[in-house]
Amino acid sequence: EAGVTQFPSHSVIEKGQTVTLRCDPISGHDNLYWYRRVMGKEIKFLLHFVKESKQDESGMPNNRFLAERTGGTYSTLKVQPAELEDSGVYFCASSQYRGIRETQYFGPGTRLLVL
Amino acid sequence: AQSVTQLGSHVSVSEGALVLLRCNYSSSVPPYLFWYVQYPNQGLQLLLKYTSAATLVKGINGFEAEFKKSETSFHLTKPSAHMSDAAEYFCAVRGGEYGNKLVFGAGTILRVKS
């Protein structure tokens, strides 16, 4: 069974440009999460989808970030326009159920560098 | 507020020595607790989790952690370090006021010396 996949693995863009990150969860997993680790800081929650609906987006830093999950399958996270402080590693995770005991399975992350 | 503290951003041990990675949480209500590991160029992998059953939790690769409510701790241990254990380890909590999301500590990089 394929794990959580993320694309691209690395992205280098200039300040002001747009970048779109993609996450494909494990097949059958209704719950999809985005997290981010800025250099030297903790991994922080961004948002949570249940199928195509945003369940919790309390961690989204500002309106330059837009997450979508059309059809409840893969998800995209768009940053527009990108700023220097957006650099970091963006992780996606998925789980089959919503319960807090459920394991979240993480992808390898997308390393974003904004110059 | 609920938070997670990992003491020591870097820990170095010799091969064969005990591994001890510390994690303390701050919460009036014991949360669910997790340890994840990230090997170089890979994603986060679950090592083990505490979900209010046995306080001593065994995980993969010989790791275990003990939940101590009185100390609000969930330290990760392994009796004998192997070179392949070199990685970054993250403690995380979930539940209570933070709901379904994971709240992570800052991470501890484990170095294993030969």
Q: pLDDT tens digit string along A78-106?
A: 999 999 999 999 999 999 987 777 889 99
- In DSSP terms, B76 is beta-bridged to B21, B65
Per-residue confidence (pLDDT) for residue B2, from 0 to 100: 55
* A101 contacts B49? CB cut-off 8 A: yes
pLDDT, one tens digit for every residue, chain B (114 residues): 558 999 999 999 999 999 999 999 987 666 789 999 999 888 899 999 998 778 899 999 999 999 998 899 999 999 999 999 999 999 999 887 777 789 999 999 999 999
Q: What pLDDT does B9 receive?
A: 93
Q: How far is CA A18 from CA A12, A80, B82, in A?
A: 11, 5, 43
- H or E stretch covering B74: strand B73-78
Please tell me which of the candidates B32, B90, B100 has its beta carbon nearest to residue A43: B90
Tell me the CA distances in angstroms from A90 to A43, A110, B14, B103, one per residue in order: 9, 5, 32, 15
pLDDT reading at A63 higher than 80: yes
Nearest CA in chain B to A57: B101
Contact A45 B101 (CB under 8 A): yes
> Which carries the bigger pLDDT value, residue B95 or residue A29?
A29
CA distances from A64 to A17, A20, A42, A60, B82 (A): 11, 12, 21, 9, 44
pLDDT of residue B97: 73
Query: B74: which residues sit within 8 A by CB, 6+ positions away?
Result: B23, B24, B25, B33, B35, B50, B65, B66, B67, B68, B91
Residues of chain B with a CB closer than 8 angstroms to some CB in chain A: 32, 36, 41-46, 49, 51, 90, 92, 94-95, 99-107
> Higher-confidence residue: A5 or B95?
A5
B-proximal residues of A, 20-59, CB under 8 Å: 31, 33, 35, 41-45, 48, 55-56, 59
Q: Residue with structure tokens 């014991």?
A: B30
Q: Where are the alpha helices (DSSP H) in chain B?
A: none
- Determine the residue of chain B that is closest to A99 in CA distance: B100
CB A115 within 8 A of CB A13: yes
Q: How far apart are CA B61 and CA B78, in angstroms?
A: 9
> Which residues of chain A lie closer than 8 angstroms to B43, CB-CB?
3-4, 91, 106-109
What are B33's strand-pairing partners?
B50, B93
Flag if A91 and B102 touch (Cβ within 8 Å).
no
- Tell how strand A110-114 and strand A10-13 pair up: parallel
Q: Would you place residue A54 in the very low, low, confident or very high pLDDT band (cuts 50, 70, 90)?
A: very high
pLDDT, position A101? 78
